[in-house]
Structure 1
Amino acid sequence: MTIPLVGITSNERPFTEGSPIIHLSVSTLFADGVKRAGGIPVYLPISNPELAHDYVKKIDKLILSGGQNVDPSFYGEEKKTDSKDYFLARDIWEEALIKEALAQNKPILGVCRGMQLYNVVTGGTLNQDIKGHGDLPPFELAHKITTDEESQLRKIYGKTQIVNSVHRQSLKDVASHLKVTARSQNDDVIEGVESQSGHKFIGVQWHPEFLLGHKELADQGLFDYFVKSF
């Protein structure tokens, strides 16, 4: 039995403010979830988009991790907020990874920003600034979601699940091949989508990696499903 190699996108942060030393910045909990599910995790640094084909060819599956806002130019809008939390080079690199994963038919799991970027790259748009979803730390539970009856998220999480909430953007126009499969009970914000086309994609708006220590929650089940069955 072949053990799947799972690529995980990463961010970049300076070692200290103003330092020329740049570190990869992504939670090790992604690797924990993948390893517990029986996969081999590998973090992917931001690179030249021309190399995306080779990176994707080496992996079996791709996780798009969370992070900065997606630049609105990717869906034909101007910035409507004063936020400086954007990273265009990362957007360009991960857009190339998404397109290659689509071309090579490699399954994708999108987490928070990852779901947003995938939606944008495949034809959707975003709400640039929503209220009430970005005020708590990622390890704290924030609100309930309701899953769609015919979805994989329903099989993993059941009808309802409590999740964290650390995002200021959300899906607005959903790409035509995606189906909304989870929403926030508080305000109907889109919390999960799944692909209805031939390509395998599942996306969640919360951060399941930060909830792996909550034994009463089903977030490891999402990693198990993605690594073993997707």
Structure 2
Amino acid sequence: MKVKIGITTGLEGEQQVKLSQDNVDAVVQAGGLPLLLPNVWEEDCIRQMVTELDGLLVTGGGDIDPTLFGEEPHPRLGTITPRRDFFEWQLIRLFLEANKPVLAICRGCQMLNIAAGGDMYQDIEAQHGTPPLQHTQHAPKTHASHYVHIAKSSMLYTILGKERIKVNSFHHQAIRRPAPGFEVSGRASDGIIEAFESKRHRFVLGLQWHPECLAAAGDPDSLKLFKALITATRKG
């Protein structure tokens, strides 16, 4: 029987649920059963989701409410979605509490860090000390535009077996201070954190890029990341 992977969804105007098909396809290709999760306020519903699911994919999207990590809005903060912020914050915390596998992508990576007690840059061009690379690429989503350097001691290295990979990039926010119990496993050449992972859970991995788009284009390394999520659910 296929393991059940919950996939978080975005909201269009707080009314219409939206999700890139690439997320669904990546989970299917990796051998999982994708289940789309609506953004709900009711905590009993969220708790039941955690009970029913084997693993979680936290997807990309818009900006995150900075009051969740103790800051007020920066002038360059984009559109936020309070319902999604609340839902994912609660969902991730419960998944971590249950020690169930989590793979978090782009916005999801940032939300994972915030839910676990870390923080983030609201805008890397305005707040990061070193002039950053182009992290919002002007190229198709299947194009890998910059490199990520991977720590050899990391779970990410164990999955990919490489010290450097090329990734796509569509973000203006990024992790600043990793949450307690998490370690950086990948950085861009400008120092921006591109991957981090928990040292206290069996599989919790955050990635700043979009491997689901690269997996859809046939990139084998990207598919390995989703297969690692599936494998981790079976080891529980």
Q: TM-score when scaled to structure 1?
A: 0.90
- Give the residue type in structure 1 aligned to 2:154: S
Deviation, structure 1 residue 52: 0.8
Q: Secondary structure at 1:180's aligned position in 2? A: strand
Q: 1:122 to 1:216 in 2, by over 3 A?
A: closer
Asked whether the 8 Å contact 2:69–2:114 carries over to 1, the reply is: yes
1:217–1:160 CA distance, 2 compared to 1 (3 A)? farther
Shift of 1:199: 5.1
Q: Distance in 1 between matches of 2:232 and 2:203?
A: 11
Shift of 1:197: 0.8
Shift of 1:123: 1.0
CA shift at 1:214, angstroms? 3.9
CA distance in 2, matches of 1:177, 1:82: 30
Other-structure match for 1:5? 4
How many matched pairs? 222
Provide structure 2 residue ranges, at least 5 long, that are not aligned to the other structure: 126-133
Is the contact between residue 59 and residue 108 of structure 2 (CA under 8 Å) also seen in structure 1? Answer: yes
Give, in angstroms, the shift of residue 32 of structure 1. Answer: 1.0
Q: Which residue of 1 aligns with 2:128?
A: none
Percentage of identical aligned residues: 32
**What's the CA shift string for 1:108-135, capped at 9, x where partnerless?**
1110111101111111110110132124
Listed one character per residue, the Cα deviations across residues 21-61 of structure 1 (whole Å, up to 9, x for unaligned) are x4321111111111111110011011124121011111110
CA distance in structure 2 between the partners assigned to 1:217 and 1:81 by the alignment: 39
Alignment match, 1:223: 226
CA distance in 2: counterparts of 1:229 and 1:107, whole angstroms: 6
Q: Displaced runs of 4+ in structure 1, greater than 3 A?
A: 213-217
Quick one: distance in 2 between partners of 1:72 and 1:106?
26
**What is the CA–CA distance in structure 2 between the aligned matches of 1:106 and 1:229, rounded to whole Å?**
9
Alpha-carbon distance in 2 for matches of 1:182, 1:49: 35
Answer yes or no: is the 8 Å Cα contact 1:62–1:108 preserved in 2. Answer: yes
Distance 2:232 2:73 in 1: 39
Question: Residue in 1 aligned with 2:150?
Answer: 147
- Structure 1 equivalent of residue 208 of structure 2: 205
Asked if 1:163 is matched to 2:156, the reply is no
> CA shift at 1:103, angstroms?
2.4
**1:192-226: per-residue Cα shift (whole Å, max 9, x none)?**
00101135311100000111144455100101111
1:10 shift after superposition: 0.1
Q: CA deviation at 1:90?
A: 0.6
Aligned match of 2:131: none
Q: CA 1:59 to 1:31, structure 2 compared with 1: closer, same or farther past 3 Å?
A: same
Measured in 2, the distance between the counterparts of 1:215 and 1:84 equals 32
Higher helix share: 2
CA distance in 1, matches of 2:115, 2:223: 27
Residues 1:133 and 2:132 are matched in the alignment: no
TM-score of the superposition, structure 2-length normalised? 0.88
